[in-house]
Structure 1
Amino acid sequence: MSPPDRAEEFVFLLARHERLLGAYVMTMVPHPQDADDILQEAKVVMWRNFAKFETGTNFGAWARKVAFHQVLAYRKRKHRDRLDFSEDFLRTVSEEVEQSAERLEQREKVLHECVAKLPADHRDALHLRYQEGLSLEDMASRLERTVGALYRLLSRVRHVLHECVTKNLHNSENEAV
């Protein structure tokens, strides 16, 4: 993969995982400003070491590991703080977040599979509402439907997606056992 493609891959993966990575760091650091600083440092370290990241493996897990080490480095620098968590506590939190992240990633994957099974007009309505952020009124005008009809459609689609995700997650849990 050429360097520009690799840079694009890094930006794409980081953008996809940034919100959860920020929440992860916030669970281990008492002050939001410190968490922001640690997150920025972690991003720099990730970029510098991205050549070591193996494409196709779990970027989220790799990024959390980098962030965890940045939290430990922060703790060493800021040892004077009174509100300081033990390293054992941080490791426990890290493990809990890792398990939660894996469940969220699985849910997201199943949700995308369920959305792909929807009829095109239902996918279009979801796209307009949740990706473009259109109001029901704007959607009604664009799709030439009533607000009430769109409200009912989106309600049915959300219900179908909930059922699909629940069923597929249940099936995958049973297969794992």
Structure 2
Amino acid sequence: MLVRQAALGDKSAFAQLVRRHGPALYRYVLRLLGDPSDAQDCVQEALFSAWKNIAAFRGGSTIRTWLLVLGRNEAQKISQRRRPPFPQSGSRAPVDFDRVSAHVRNTHADPEGDTLENELLGALDAALLQLPERQRSVWMLREVEDLSYAEIASIIGASPTAVRGLLQRARTAIAGSLEEWR
């Protein structure tokens, strides 16, 4: 309903879509680009593209998936324009653990538990930074954004079977990196 209204030029309907899906779009492109300023530019370009092209949206995917595809495309453009001639280690953004930490949060409020949680999240961040971009992207879309394999496949331009493989390799690599935490 909101998509149809936005396609007819209803700015308030589009604003509701932005409020609903903008935070996930920002989290996703921030992790891809590693720079808050670049991520803001990327979201702005993706949303501008969405506004211009929303009438062409046919509902083959969810609006959220479509926006994430637009965001990924814009992030790739920005990344290609700003890529240094030689890769720099550690230049990726740390993962926003707001949603991930809910899964590993210690329910007992104690300083030792908080310290261990922070160390675990730091180790997870380091493990994620070691993943190739597609594996990291798939892991974040599944584990943080809770998207289906079909939605992720649509976003990264792969089959659901390829998404399963990428996710399995990402999980295996992360498990190996976090072996000392078991």
TM (norm. structure 2) is 0.47
Name the structure, 1 or 2, with higher relative contact order (CA <8 Å, separation 6+).
2
Bigger Rg, which one: 1
